[in-house]
Amino acid sequence: MTDYRDPDELIRRAGRGNPEFDQHFLVDDRVLDRIPTYADEFDTTHVLEIGGGTGALTDRLLDVAEKVTVIERDPNLAEFVREEFAEVVEAGRLDVIQGDALEVDLPDYTVCISNLPYSASSDLTFRLLPEGKPAVLMYQLEFAERMAAEPGTSEYGRLTVATQHYADVELVEEVPREAFDPQPRVESAIVRLTPRAPEYEVDDEDFFLRFVKALFTQRRKNVRNAIRNTAHISGLDAPEAIVDALDEETLRKRPGDLRPSTFAELANIALEVGEPT
């Protein structure tokens, strides 16, 4: 078994996390060891890690990848990881990019395996999903449950539909707050995202996602009223034409009861008759 660096010792040498960067370092060796195994079915030739922190997960990723690229926002930690792993950096197996993962150019990676900063989870996820690459990502538990939710449940919402538009979502492990240092105020979960084409077609992906977002701002209303009340968000000049084009059964439902494929049908109709601006 590989003798990995001690996570607590890495923190001691790197320094405590910076609250401004939403840093909660994973220190449970058992969880760290399991994370790469959730990507066994994926191509791990080039692993992207967002938020490398002190390098505890990086250490394990180097064991399964030919190359690892770490994107770390904190300049002090980016430099620490470069120095800590100087030999593999020199060998060309590890690149450390200091910058914001929402802004820097992403490498041509094969899979993303990361303990994401929770404050940027949504934005980072929707930067990664359109890339069409698999991912194993750590999230706040509540966020993960919303990603994997089923229609008709309280967790089901815009995040669910948008995520499952791009990928199959599996919540593969719940992680207690004690596994981190400093401990977050919430429980966490590891999610596996397997990209695939949706089972439906959308005529305009940007409009589809905007339409889903709009209707879920009225999740307690029925679809009829949700369409009428959110035309300004969707950018539709003729919401009544959409209502007239739908069957009564659909109009009586609430947005949280609609499957992603039904949202796609509604969005396509809205594009056709709703006079989008």
Is 18 annotated to bind a ligand? Reply is no
The CA distance from 76 to 79, in Å, is 5
| Residue 26 among known ligand-binding residues | yes
Residue 100 marked ligand-binding: yes
Q: Please check if 152 is assigned to a binding site.
A: no
Q: Is 72 annotated as a binding residue?
A: yes
The three-state (H, E, C) secondary structure of the chain, written as one string: CCCCCCHHHHHHHHCCCCHHHCCCEECCHHHHHHHHHHHCCCCCCEEEEECCCCCHHHHHHHHHCCEEEEEECCHHHHHHHHHHCHHHHHCCCEEEEECCCCCCCCCCCCEEEEECCHHHHHHHHHHHHHHCCCEEEEEEHHHHHHHCCCCCCCCCCHHHHHHHHHEEEEEEEEECHHHEECCCCCCEEEEEEEECCCCCCCCCHHHHHHHHHHHHCCCCCCHHHHHHHCHHHHCECCHHHHHHHCCHHHHHCCHHHCCHHHHHHHHHHHHHHCCEC
Residue 74 annotated as part of some ligand binding site: no
* Cα–Cα nearest to 58, from 28, 81, 31: 81
Annotated binding site for S-adenosyl-L-methionine: 24, 26, 51, 72, 100, 115
Annotated binding site: 24, 26, 51, 72, 100, 115
